[in-house]
Amino acid sequence: MKNLLEAHEVSKNFGDFKALNNVSISVPKGSIFGLLGPNGAGKTTLIRVINQITMPDSGHVILDGEPLQSHHVQNIGYLPEERGLYKSMKVGEQALYLAQLKGLSKAEAKKRLKYWFERLEIGDWWNKKIQELSKGMAQKIQFVVTVLHEPKLLIFDEPFSGFDPINANLIKDEILRLKENGATVIFSTHRMESVEELCDHIALIHKSNKILDGKLTDIKRQYKTNTFEVGIKAADKIALAETISQKFDASLTNFRSLNDELKLNIKLSENETSNDLLSYLTSKGEVSHFVEVIPSANDIFIQAVKNN
């Protein structure tokens, strides 16, 4: 079984509003799958369908080879974007309760909570009430509760919101560790730098439709424009730029460098290769910088949304 989760042609309407329109995604086992999209695109609805909170109007979801059933909630850990805890309940009691709802026995839940609380250095919070904790502290507990029952599938909706950089990093490392231990992660966020850092696969949902999906590297390959960023040392930069422009599609650019050089973005046509360009450039001067421009997740996101 290659994919842990497959959603097939899932549609959902709320009255006249189409929240999801025949959306299909495949989440490979052991991957971190980025579910991206502008606000109100339908990401949360899709996540809720996977969690069986919302029933789809049509389409179906398959988890680990089986059609989604109610007992599967034990195999899923979900950290929603709108999240909170009972304010007046003690941290320990609350975590135990939520763990038991996920099917853990009380003793087992206690044992695992102890482990996690020590790991995240929050052991002395056990008897505190949530209202005594800061938002970031409460988020840590929510994270623990989400992963405690060791689900096959973890779904994080904006997991880093509310964390300071240190704790965000801590959580990021924990997510990566969980992945190494065999969990599959669906990760929904607006923060593209964490997509770059974490995700192997992404799907982009826009206005209830999936407009893009696949391996992040494949998508980048697909979106790259055959453009190279080059730097050439030259005495007369303006003249050189003129000369190059006559042969290639070049434009001035800027990047960080220690040299005072001519900085250009050069877009190659389909029958030109990077070697053609490089050999041409070396004939004009000393090439100090030569790198292919890879589109960032952010660029892809903006471009894909705009094109639709």
Q: Rule CB under 8 A: which residues touch another protein?
A: 14-15, 48, 51-53, 70-71, 73-74, 76, 78-80, 82-89, 97-98, 100-103, 142, 145
The smaller minimum CB distance to another protein, of residues 74 and 209, is found at: 74
Q: CB nearer to another protein: give 125 or 228.
A: 125
CB of 32 to another protein, least distance (A): 20
CB of 145 to another protein, least distance (A): 7
CB of 195 to another protein, least distance (A): 23
Least distance in angstroms from the C-beta of 146 to another protein: 8
**What contacts 133, CB < 8 A, 6 or more positions away?**
91, 125, 141
Q: Which helix (H) or strand (E) holds 72?
A: none
Interatomic CA distance for residues 99 and 207, integer angstroms: 35
Query: Which of 101, 294 has the CB closer to another protein?
Result: 101
Nearest to 283 by CA among 256, 250, 243: 243
- The 3-state DSSP class for residue 249 equals strand
**Strand arrangement, sheet containing 17-28:** 17-28, 3-14, 58-63, 66-67
Pure H helices in the chain: 43-50, 91-101, 106-119, 135-147, 165-180, 192-198, 216-223, 237-247, 274-284, 297-307
Specify burial of residue 34 (Cβ count, 10 A radius: 0-12, 13-18, 19+).
buried
By beta-carbon proximity to another protein, the closer residue of 16 and 270 is 16
Q: Which is nearer to another protein, 41 or 145 (CB)?
A: 145
Give the nearer residue to another protein in terms of CB position, either 54 or 209.
Answer: 54
Q: Please report how close the Cβ of residue 255 comes to another protein at its closest, in angstroms.
A: 44
Output the six-digit token pair for 276.
């053609």
* Minimum separation from the CB atom of position 71 to another protein (A): 6
Closest CA to 24 of 195, 214, 304, 300: 214
- Chain-centroid distance of CA 247 in Å reads 40
C-beta of 48: minimal distance to another protein in Å? Answer: 8
The residue among 103 and 123 lying less far from another protein, judged by its C-beta, is 103
CA distance 154 to 75: 8
Instruction: Quote the CA–CA distance of 282 and 269 in Å, as a whole number.
Output: 19
